[in-house]
Amino acid sequence: MKPRISIKAAAMVAVAALGISTAAFAAITDEVKAINDAWAHITYEVQGSSTQTKALAALEKQAAGVVAHYPGQAEPLLWEGIVVSEEANRANIFHKLGLATRARDLIAKAYAINPRAANGGAALSLGVLYYKVPGSPIGFGDVKKAHQLLREALALDPNGLDTNYWYADFLYDQGNIPGARSFAQKALRAPHDPSRPVWDAGRRREVNALLKKMG
């Protein structure tokens, strides 16, 4: 009979198989969370577009440093991509597509390393880019790919605030108002995350704004 392995032991084995010490794994978590929290602060609390733009540019450099420190790891790449994606969201028309393309490439690398990264966050972020960016010949947008990736993210995190909000936003974008309303309401039922209060409150405001648009 094979010896039973506890969940904790199995997790340690998985970390070892990736070639990362547990200390380094904890450091990645802390450093990625610092990027995550700074992104939320800039997105939801910093006032003024020029101030946000400068703060995001500085945060991108910080995120790139974390990526360089932990080469080949999915979550640092994912969060660098998310920061660049936020830069694209706030950039002028001449820089939007270039930044969005760079964000896609970073997040696609994270997804290729681990499609389940951040509990579906890599699939989700990539899916959002694919429906937010115009399609050919202007950009790389692809509604079919977006739908596939968003559904993949939902399968990994079916009750999550982010996964349900973005799927609701996608359905609203596609004109499916009843479906969008259902998923937005489900997003609001997601458990609050006390470890990320700024993001949690900010995202819920966005969900409510989406519901208000639906009437």
Tens-digit pLDDT string for the chain (215 aa): 433 333 333 333 333 333 444 455 566 789 999 999 999 999 999 999 999 999 999 999 999 999 999 999 999 999 999 999 999 999 998 899 999 999 999 999 999 999 999 999 999 999 999 999 999 999 999 999 999 999 999 999 999 999 999 999 999 999 999 999 999 999 999 999 999 999 999 999 999 999 999 98
Q: Are 54 and 90 in contact (CB under 8 A)?
A: no
Considering the domain boundaries, does residue 151 fall inside one? no
pTM: 0.87
Residues 44 and 74 in one domain: yes
Closest by CA position to 97, among listed 134, 145, 122, 131:
134
Please count the other Cβ atoms lying within 10 Å of the Cβ belonging to residue 24.
15
Residue 138: which domain range? 7-145
Beta strands in 56-177 (DSSP E): none
What DSSP state is assigned to residue 3? P
Answer left, alpha or beta for residue 135, where phi above 0 means left and psi between -120 and 50 means alpha. beta
Residues 136 and 210 in one domain: no
Considering the domain boundaries, does residue 152 fall inside one? no
Amino acid found at 188: L
Residues 111 and 191 in one domain: no
Last residue of a domain, one of 145, 171, 205: 145
Residues 140 and 198 in one domain: no
CA distance 11 to 60: 30
The number of distinct structural domains making up the chain is: 2
Last residue of a domain, one of 120, 145, 170: 145
Q: Are 29 and 11 in contact (CB under 8 A)?
A: no
